Amino acid sequence: MSDTPTEKPAPKKRKRINVRKPDVMAKVEAEVSNHYKSSVVEKLREHGGIVTLGNTTIKLAQQFGFCYGVERAIDLAYASRKVFETNPIYLIGEIIHNPEVNRQLQQMDIVSLPWQEMNEQYDALTDNDVVIVPAFGAPTSFVEKIEERGASIVDTTCGDVMKVWRRVRTYAKEGYTSIIHGKAGHEETLATASHALGKEKNGHYLIILTLEDTDFVCDYVKGKISDADFMSRFGKSNVSAGFDPSVHLKQVGVANQTTMLKSETEEIQNRITAAVRERDGDSQNCQVFDTICGATQERQDALFDMLKEPMDMLLVVGGYNSSNTTHLVEIGQEELPTFFIRDAGCIESLEQIVHFDLEEKSEITSEYKNLLDQDQHVTVGITAGASCPNNLIENTILRVCELRGISKSEILEM
């Protein structure tokens, strides 16, 4: 980056770079495998995801961990460093929501830029710089700025996220306001909201998160809530500039962040459709489109399957800011003691687990004595979000086994 950005004329707009060259990808594959693979996870998979040693049963969900979108994003980030060996490389925020993966990228001198708003670092980009767009994508204004500065872009946005963007751009083109089920402070939802403005930038959006938000919107649609009350509930960050509910909720299209809870997204679609039907006599002015991604769906379904059999506890491994991992925790904690852990280090002892509490939104320590009694049979379920590498899942399995008196070699020799 230059120290005197204002003195330099903006360089010529650069094209996006394809770093997927066969020789590069061969090296990347070896490096990624070395960083994140797990012989223990492979062994468990060979055994159908379930293993019993002595008094301990470990069960892995049938689908867990890295999804195709995350694998691709990591591959492209690693490839960037190989293709641009000496150029400064920047990343908008985090490549995915996992501290271990982001640490590895930092070690490659890939520097994170702010993702919530652009600062002077963006103004200082030059045509010698490379900027990686993460798997969640980035708002259009960020990408336009990077292009304007002439920096090279390596775009790792997942295809499933781009599918949502296409949908909300269509809503904008047809004059429908996008109601986005997602987290207003999540990278993907920010990016999707920017696309909901459409090519002409005259579209509108409203971001809702909960069923309570949905009911509030439905009550407005049914004429039970004033404009002022509506706008005071959904502050600036949840609506597009110039949003007027009396105008912009006449025609709505529902979309969602790809990693939401499917059952909740369906309920939101149903409630909004019913409210529009009640107002208009039919639901022509409401479009719905399920944009939950396949990987999120598979991980949720696999957990529901695993929960059909009794277990003593569930460990969900992943970054605390990971949306899809959070929903796995929500599913689990409805049924049994569930601990959302960052890595194996959170399992401090047989009776103390450090974990993220979704209610308190912070890491807490809980006592859990069920693991203590070595004479008692214990079944521990383990799953992980789409951004969690297998090596962290292996460490978790090994930590539980260690505390229950089982060695790694016992697992590998099964």
So which residues are the catalytic ones?
188
Contact set for ligand SF4, span 122-141 (CB under 6 A): 135
Whose Cβ is closer to ligand SF4: residue 61's or residue 401's? 61
Count of residues near ligand SF4 by CB under 6 A: 15
Task: Give one word for 214, left, alpha or beta, with left for phi > 0 and alpha for psi -120 to 50.
Answer: alpha
Q: How far apart are CA 328 and CA 261, in angstroms?
A: 8
Alpha-carbon distance values, 309 to 325, 341, 377 (Å): 21, 22, 15
DSSP type of residue 367 = E
What is the CB neighbour count within 10 angstroms for residue 263?
12
- Which amino acid appears at position 321 of this protein? N
97, two tokens: 């929501």
Q: Minimal distance in Å, beta carbon 186 to ligand SF4?
A: 11
The angle that helices 211-221 and 262-280 make with each other, rounded to 10 degrees, is: 10
Instruction: Tell me how far, at minimum, the Cβ of 412 lies from ligand SF4, in Å.
Output: 29
End-to-end CA distance of the chain, in Å?
53
How far, in whole angstroms, is CA 58 from its chain's centroid?
Answer: 26
Contacts with ligand SF4 in 60-79 (CB under 6 A)?
Answer: 67-70
Which lies closer to ligand SF4 via its Cβ, residue 38 or residue 296? 296
Residue found under tokens 């360089």: 11
Please tell me whether residue 300 binds ligand SF4 under the rule CB under 6 A. Answer: no
Cβ of residue 409: shortest distance to ligand SF4, in angstroms? 34
Task: Give, as ranges, the residues between 341 and 400 that touch ligand SF4 (CB under 6 A).
Answer: 386
Output the CA angle 414-57-97, nearest 5 degrees.
95
For ligand SF4, the binding residue among 40, 113, 130, 295 (CB under 6 A) is 295
Q: Which token pair is 188?
A: 């993907």
Closest residue to ligand SF4, Cβ-based?
69
Closest to ligand SF4 by CB, 63 or 296: 296
Q: Which of 63, 152, 324, 396 binds ligand SF4 (CB under 6 A)?
A: 324
Q: Using the rule CB under 6 A, is 160 a contact of ligand SF4?
A: yes
Please give the Cα distance from 58 to 46 (Å, whole number): 14
Q: Determine which residue in the list 102, 189, 269, 296 makes contact with ligand SF4, applying CB under 6 A.
A: 296
**Residue ranges with strand state E in 42-198:** 50-53, 56-60, 89-92, 110-113, 130-133, 152-155, 177-181
Q: In residues, how long is the chain?
A: 414
Q: Which of residues 202-241 bind ligand SF4 (CB under 6 A)?
A: none
Q: What is d(CA 98, CA 389) in angstroms, rounded to the nearest whole number?
A: 8
Q: How far is the CB of 387 from ligand SF4 (least distance, A)?
A: 7
* Using rule CB under 6 A, residue 288 touches ligand SF4: no
Select the residue interacting with ligand SF4 from 44, 61, 179, 293 (CB under 6 A): 293
- Residue nearer to ligand SF4 on the CB measure, 56 or 323: 323
Of the candidate residues 89, 105, 158, 196, the single one contacting ligand SF4 (CB under 6 A) = 158
The structure tokens 């460490």 sit at 395
Q: What burial class does residue 385 get, using C-beta atoms within 10 Å of its C-beta: 0-12 exposed, 13-18 middle, 19+ buried? A: buried
Piece in contact with ligand SF4 (CB under 6 A), picked from 270-278, 289-297, 373-381, 400-408? 289-297
- Which one of residues 177, 258, 300, 325 is an interface residue with ligand SF4 (CB under 6 A)? 258
Residues 259-278, one symbol each (x = binds ligand SF4 by CB under 6 A, - = not), give x-------------------
The residues that touch ligand SF4, with contacts defined as CB under 6 A, are: 67-70, 135, 158, 160-161, 258-259, 293, 295-296, 324, 386
